[in-house]
Amino acid sequence: MWPVSFYFLALLSIAISCWVFRCRKTICYGKLPPGSMGVPIIGETIQFFIPSKSIDMPWFMKTRLKRYGPVFKTSLAGRPVVVSSDADFNNFILQQEGKLVELWYMDSFAELIGQNGEMKDSIKAGHIHKHLKKTVAECFGAERLKGILFPELDQTVKRALDSWTKHKSLEVKHALSTMILNFTWKVFFGRDPEKSEINLSETFANFTQGLMSFPLNLPGTAFHKCAQNRKKIVKLIRDTVERRQTSPAVSRATGNDFLDCLIDYKKTDSSFTDNIIVNTIFALLLATSETIPTTLTLAIMYLADNPSVLHELEEESNRMISGRENKESGITWKEYKSMTLTMHVINESLRMGGAIGILRRTIEDVHIREYVIPKGWTIAVIPAALHMDPDVYRDPLTFNPWRWEDLGATSKARHFIPFGGGMRSCGGADFSKALMAVFLHHFVTNYRWTKIKGGEIVRTPVLSFGDGYHVKVFKKAKMKEMEEDR
C-alpha cells in the first residue's frame, strides 16, 4: 500500500503545483476579473451544483454577481472560467466566433453530449458547421414550416392532447418530450421510432437527470447512469444511420429527410463521418427534448396561476378560429404570425426558464475594461442573468406576458437570448416557437387541466420540476359539465 499512497500523494502534489502555477501565470498577463478560484483542482464546482428552489437565476451566479459585479472569475471542474452578465460584453463575445473565441463545452459535459473528439474538430471546421446550419434551416426553417411541417405539427399536437385526456394523471414535461421526440425523429428519419426499441423519451429523461451532476464517472453515480443512457440513445441512432446506408428504401417511410441530406454531404466531404452524423442528430434531439418541454411546462404552470392571461389567450385563438371559412381546419402560417399574445406568453416563458449558459473559449487574450481574460480560459455568458435584470424587466420574477408590448428591439436583442447569439444561434428557433404556438393554441382552446401533484421549481443549475408537474387533462366541454355538477 505504501508505494500506491506515495504515488498518489506525489501526483496530487504535482496537480496542486500545476494549478497554483497556472493561476499565478495568468496574473502576469494583466489584471484578472474579481472572484475566487476556490480550492485546488475542484475549484467552486461543488458550490456550482447546489440547487436553489426558485425561478430566479441559480444561487451560485446570483451571490457572486452581487459580490463581484457583472463579470467575475471562478474555477469549475478544474477549468478557469469568467462568468458574464454584461449585455454589451456578451453581445461582443458572441460576435467573435473564430476571431477571439471558439465554441467550447466543459470536458465532462462535452463527453456526455458527444461534442468531444472528432465532433469537436468538426465544430472548428467552419465549412462543416455552415453546412450543418444550412441543413437544419432547410429542415426546420420558415419555408419548410409554411409548406410541410405546419399541417404535420397541427395533427401531432391534436393526437397527443386527445391521448392525454385518457390518463388519470400524467407528468407534463415527460408527455411533451414524448410528443416532440416522436415528431422530430420522424422529421430526421422519415418514420416513427420503432416500438420494439428503447423508450426514447424515457431514456432521454434519465439522461438529462444526470447531465448536470458532479462529473464523477463511477458506477452508481448520477453521472455514470447518464453516460449509460447516452450509450443506449447513440446505439439507436447509429443503428438507424447504418440501416439507411445499407438499405435506404426499406429504412424510411417517406421521401428525402434530414438523414438523407447528411448522408449526401458525407459523399462529398470525407471528413464528415458517421460519428459526426450520429452526434449531430443526438445533440439536436437533446435540444428539442429538453428546451421546448421545459418552456411549455413552465407556461402551463403559470397559465394555471394566471386565469386572466389564460382567458385572453383563449380569446385570441377563438378570434382566429372565427375568421376561418372552415372552423375545423388546422392552423396556418398566416394565423400563426398573427398570434401576438401567444408569442408574448412564449417569450415570457423562455425568459423565465433561462438557459444555464453559453460557453466560449478564448483563442486570444480578451480585454474587457481594465481586465484581461487570458487565452485558453472559458467565458460563460449567462442568459438567466440578462433575463432577470430588473433594470430591463420590471419585477422580473413575475409572469407578465404583456411586458413584451413595451420592450424595444434593442432591449430584446441585448437582453433576450434564449436561442444564443452570433453565428452559433440556434437554427431551430423558428421551429421551436412554431411548435409551442401550435400546442398552446389547441391546449387553451379545447382543454383544461387540474393539478394532481408536484410542480416544484428547482435549479441545479438547470431548471427542473422536482418530481414533475402532474396534471389531469380534460376536454373543455367535459370540464364544464363537471363544474355544473358541483
Residue 226 annotated as binding site: no
Nearest to 457 by CA among 173, 31, 258: 173
Q: Tell me how far apart the alpha carbons of residues 331 and 442 are, in angstroms, rounded to a whole number.
A: 9
One-character DSSP codes across 357-405: -EEEEESS-EEETTEEE-TT-EEEE-HHHHHT-TTTSSSTTS--GGGGG
List, in order, residues 6 or more apart from 73 with CB less than 8 Å away: 32, 33, 34, 35, 36, 37, 80, 81, 82, 83
Q: Quote the cell numbers at residue 297.
A: 411546462
Q: Tell me how far apart the alpha carbons of residues 113 and 286 are, in angstroms, rounded to a whole number.
A: 8
Q: Tell me how far apart the alpha carbons of residues 183 and 157 are, in angstroms, rounded to a whole number.
A: 10
Q: Tell me how far apart the alpha carbons of residues 99 and 96 are, in angstroms, rounded to a whole number.
A: 5
Q: Tell me how far apart the alpha carbons of residues 478 and 485 are, in angstroms, rounded to a whole number.
A: 11
44 close to 38: Cβ distance less than 8 angstroms = yes
Q: Quote the cell numbers at residue 1.
A: 500500500
167-187 core/surface letters (b: 16 or more CB in 10 A; e: else): eeebbbbbbbbbbbbbbbbbb
Report helix, strand or coil for 101: strand
Burial of 485 (0-12, 13-18, 19+ CB in 10 A): exposed
β-strand 378-381 against 79-84: which pairing, if any?
A: parallel
Long-range contacts of 266-270 (CB under 8 A, 24+ apart): 269/127, 269/128, 269/131
Nearest to 390 by CA among 57, 50, 33, 89: 57
Binding site listing = 426
Binding site listing for heme = 426
